[in-house]
Amino acid sequence: MDLHPWLEQVVPALRSPAGALAFVPLYAIWVSLLLPGVWASMLAGALYGTFWGSVLVFAGACLGALAAFLLGRHQLRHWARRRLATRPKLQAIERAVSREGLKLVLLTRLSPAFPFSLLNLAYGLSDVSLRNYAIGLLAILPGTVLFCGLGELAGDASRFGEMLAGGSGPAGQALSLLGIAATVAAMVVAGRATRRALQRHGSS
């Protein structure tokens, strides 16, 4: 599907001050629909520069993330709870991971192995508090700045793929290493919580 004709019509409108304000709710809707935000973040960088692009993306991401979290917490949670009620071990694991709270939220937000949009809904279904969830959103800032910077460097949507393929430079490599470290740490934290839950469940 060729998006360039559509972009040629939309981009001039988005470059205006009103378009910049509209970008925030548009980005929120994008991530609320569980769509990947990398391309949209790079578009923000190309349109508004690294700094303002990052500000708009972060605002939109937070808005969309909170909407998805509240959807999971209030609309889908009862359905999920009913499913978990028939699986005591899974219920014990879910409670144990939820107790890790802010630490696990921060680590999973830093890690590229955990898709941003899906995490929003997953944490809504968990027992993680809204406060810890909201604070954990700060961990998306490094990735936000990087992808907006890549978008500004690319300058045009036709070059986004090229930048993602290998044009990220030292900053991208550093963020990749941080993401790998966060992934390992998140797996360790979740694994320990899971083992403790299973041990308690087995002894009860």
Total domains in the chain come to 1
| 29-47 pLDDT, tens digit each | 988 887 778 888 888 988 8
Q: How far is CA 37 from CA 40, 84, 200, in A?
A: 5, 30, 39
| 117-145 pLDDT, tens digit each | 777 877 887 788 889 899 989 988 888 88
User: Residue 136 is part of which domain span?
Assistant: 4-203
Are 89 and 204 spatial neighbours (Cβ–Cβ below 8 Å)?
no
Mean of per-residue pLDDT scores for the chain: 75
201 pLDDT band, cuts 50/70/90, is very low
Distance CA 113, CA 106 (A): 13
Residue 139 DSSP label = G
Q: Mutual orientation of helices 77-85 and 88-99 as an angle, nearest 10°?
A: 130
Closest CA to 146 of 4, 76, 41: 41
Distance CA 175, CA 83 (A): 37
Tokens 């360790």 sit on residue: 188
- What is residue 129's three-state secondary structure? coil
- What is residue 100's three-state secondary structure? coil
Distance CA 73, CA 123 (A): 8
89 pLDDT band, cuts 50/70/90, is low
pTM equals 0.73
Q: Mutual orientation of helices 38-74 and 141-154 as an angle, nearest 10°?
A: 150
Asked whether residue 80 carries a pLDDT value surpassing 80, the answer given is no
DSSP track, 8-26: HHHHHHHTSHHHHHHHHHH
